[in-house]
Structure 1
């Protein structure tokens, strides 16, 4: 019988154990910082009812949906009533609407789960990937101060990840729409279409965006396009510079002035939250491609690796749950695409060499002393030290080689001499050092060495 080739589908990130440890360390860092700011965990099913999931939210994601159908339903020719979630925001809207009367508002939730999109197979694009989201949902209203808190959380996460200097870039959709109104672009659909084109500025370049806006179906006047492109080139270098540039935009209509007022408050509150001015900036080209954003929008980029693009994005929305409830549930949130981010950082050489989460390997010198090895391992585990025991006898050199290849830092040898003297031979593979330690001092010695240089996660 012919063997079936072992293979994975394109568009998934399947990692070897040490890389998985590094990736899990990233997720743990993100989770820790979300919880530090008072967010609570939520999980939703990987599948949603198709009519619930496919409500209009704008963008390309709804054209990339994987439908779910049982074999029985397929045999009966039925249409799929379930689909895999393509993001965590639409399931959140359904969740909040369904549990509205059981939740406390403002509702602060974080969610770290896989999502699925029918991406065209290409390098760095994923069909299955982790998203790490936070959102604050209000009942009837939500203070603009929450829009300022989000960048403080972004700053905490990426400072902890220690992947290099970064900038949190902010804009406001109302400011942009008000600017378009002042130019004579009053139609809401046209405004959204122009916003989506402007959001492609960094990817397509100024000339390409200008050509698109001048051509059909936009057919905007060249002078108007020049004013739009002049507007979206505004950047700031400090808080004072940001506020001055907002002031220099001149007077506008109600929507424009509301957007400018919101941006001013958000920017000044971000500083009050302790985020350094060098780490956030005004960028009037940030629009975000999804239509449900209504106010503040964010994108975060690595200063030394701009080619990676946005590593965290999101914004304010007024009524995302409007498809499921008559209640007004405004919110603000962000998403980190952890799978793509990890892949990009690894490609850029920014992920250090991972080490095993197993901290100690207890070797086997003498099969007759196997119970003593098990007792030693049990003692270490009871003290919170992750320990593996060599279960099958082999040459000691082979056992050391196994530990080295597996990324295990400490190897313990308990031979006849050590048992007689109540000692343990401890080899630190990272320090390339071997010492004999009294059995009574072993725990303290191990913990001291582990606290000095660490033993898990990824090496910087």
Structure 2
């Protein structure tokens, strides 16, 4: 077999880097589960007619078919129904809720950490196969607003416990901006939201022209829309700043109350993150998808703004419906691959070792392999990962073997009766008598950990 050619857009991590991803997944999962979110995993494929909506995303769908399937064999209702790999976790989750609603208790809290696929041009932070971490709460016919605050707070806590560059949650509310545009008298509110959503790509003057051309706004109304979009605050001054613009609308008032509640509800979690996470109202955040109906959020990573948002989500009141029952929800998606792969490739994050083993049990000779295996089994029985040296080389070579693999301890079984086993910390050179039935390495050495070059964010705020 010839040497394979790498496929761009399908990142594969080496063992030490995979340690980073696994530790992040484990940390997120623990936090989500502490808040009562159940883990689910949906199938990799969905019917094309459920995913394809005639928009830009249709160009990126990967279609799934049998190699030998005749072109005319597809049956839109049978086993050969046209399928595609899911491009996010929201579409399959909406289908999951509809399909299993009779077996779920509502409100249903779910977290899901899975790959998705998009056939877009590969570049930093954008891949053809990538992993996302999503949390959602879904209700049946109604879902009280306090769940918006809950989801936001949970994701702030989860991401605030990770060794990442500072993350900024930029929050807005669709009711607020819809009410503001309606109060101004703009004819096409939805079109106005779509134009404002382009502010991260276009200059304000260009967006103002689009508001006039595509949303029917006057130039004065367009200027007021841009004035609202400049507001960015993280405290109670939000209300005064918006009210000072002099626009009155009932929907605007409701959105302002909800957005203020999100900021207040996340304050404790932000403080507990020790500077790793900030949350602020940013009234230019719109998220162009029409199914968002209230809270919306985009997540950005400090120093990596070139990646654009690394997460986002919001409130959707009618994403899933079977015609009789509507399942409103609120959720946030965090791009694991989008965030971690650039950090790993730049050496900002790495694993403390490439193997799970904390101990290498040395091998004096082949005749004593059973003795070394018994030591290893004794350590494993108490949750200490270890491996036996592959061959009975000189102890110096076995120590160097452990060093290359990042294994911190080497265990030397006693070769004479009445003599104790010994264990060496190969980093310090300290070697002591030890009993495999009782010895335990320091907690920090039990399993691989994430090593980061990131300064403590709290120190950066001094």
Normalising by structure 1, we get a TM-score of 0.88
The whole-number CA distance in structure 1 between the counterparts of 2:269 and 2:4 is 51
- Give the equivalent residue in structure 1 for 2:37: 39
Structure 1 unaligned runs (5+)? Answer: none
Q: Could you say if the C-alpha distance between residues 193 and 408 of structure 1 is closer, same or farther in structure 2, counting changes exceeding 3 Å?
A: farther
Q: Could you say if the C-alpha distance between residues 443 and 206 of structure 1 is closer, same or farther in structure 2, counting changes exceeding 3 Å?
A: farther
The whole-number CA distance in structure 2 between the counterparts of 1:50 and 1:32 is 34
- Mapped pair 1:229 → 2:223: no
SS at match of 2:221: helix
Cα offset for 1:213?
A: 4.0
Cα offset for 1:246?
A: 3.5
Q: Is the 8 A contact 2:192 2:214 kept in 1?
A: no
- Give the equivalent residue in structure 1 for 2:4: 6
SS at match of 2:349: coil
User: How do 1:271-286 residues align onto structure 2 when only pairs under 5 Å count?
Assistant: 271=267, 274-276=269-271, 279-286=278-285
The whole-number CA distance in structure 2 between the counterparts of 1:194 and 1:452 is 53
Cα offset for 1:240?
A: 1.8
Q: Is the 8 A contact 1:308 1:344 kept in 2?
A: no
Q: Could you say if the C-alpha distance between residues 456 and 308 of structure 1 is closer, same or farther in structure 2, counting changes exceeding 3 Å?
A: same
Q: Is the 8 A contact 1:425 1:434 kept in 2?
A: no
User: How do 1:40-439 residues align onto structure 2 when only pairs under 5 Å count?
Assistant: 40-54=38-52, 56=53, 60-74=56-70, 76=72, 78=74, 81-187=82-188, 191-213=189-211, 217=214, 220-236=217-233, 238-271=234-267, 274-276=269-271, 279-303=278-302, 305-322=304-321, 324-347=322-345, 349-355=347-353, 356-414=355-413, 416=415, 419-429=416-426, 431-439=427-435
- Count of residue correspondences: 442
The whole-number CA distance in structure 2 between the counterparts of 1:349 and 1:148 is 35
The whole-number CA distance in structure 1 between the counterparts of 2:250 and 2:238 is 21
Cα offset for 1:186?
A: 2.8
Cα offset for 1:274?
A: 4.7
Cα offset for 1:318?
A: 0.5
Let me know the Cα RMSD of the aligned residues. 2.5
SS at match of 2:20: helix
Stretch moving more, 377-386 or 77-86: 77-86
Q: Is the 8 A contact 2:384 2:446 kept in 1?
A: no
Q: Could you say if the C-alpha distance between residues 308 and 443 of structure 1 is closer, same or farther in structure 2, counting changes exceeding 3 Å?
A: farther
Cα offset for 1:445?
A: 4.2
Cα offset for 1:350?
A: 3.4
Query: Which of structure 1's runs of 4+ aligned residues deviate more than 6 A?
Result: none
Normalising by structure 2, we get a TM-score of 0.88
Stretch moving more, 116-125 or 331-340: 116-125
SS at match of 1:299: strand
The whole-number CA distance in structure 1 between the counterparts of 2:437 and 2:246 is 68
The whole-number CA distance in structure 2 between the counterparts of 1:208 and 1:413 is 72
Q: Could you say if the C-alpha distance between residues 59 and 284 of structure 1 is closer, same or farther in structure 2, counting changes exceeding 3 Å?
A: farther
**Structure richer in helix, relative to its length:** 1
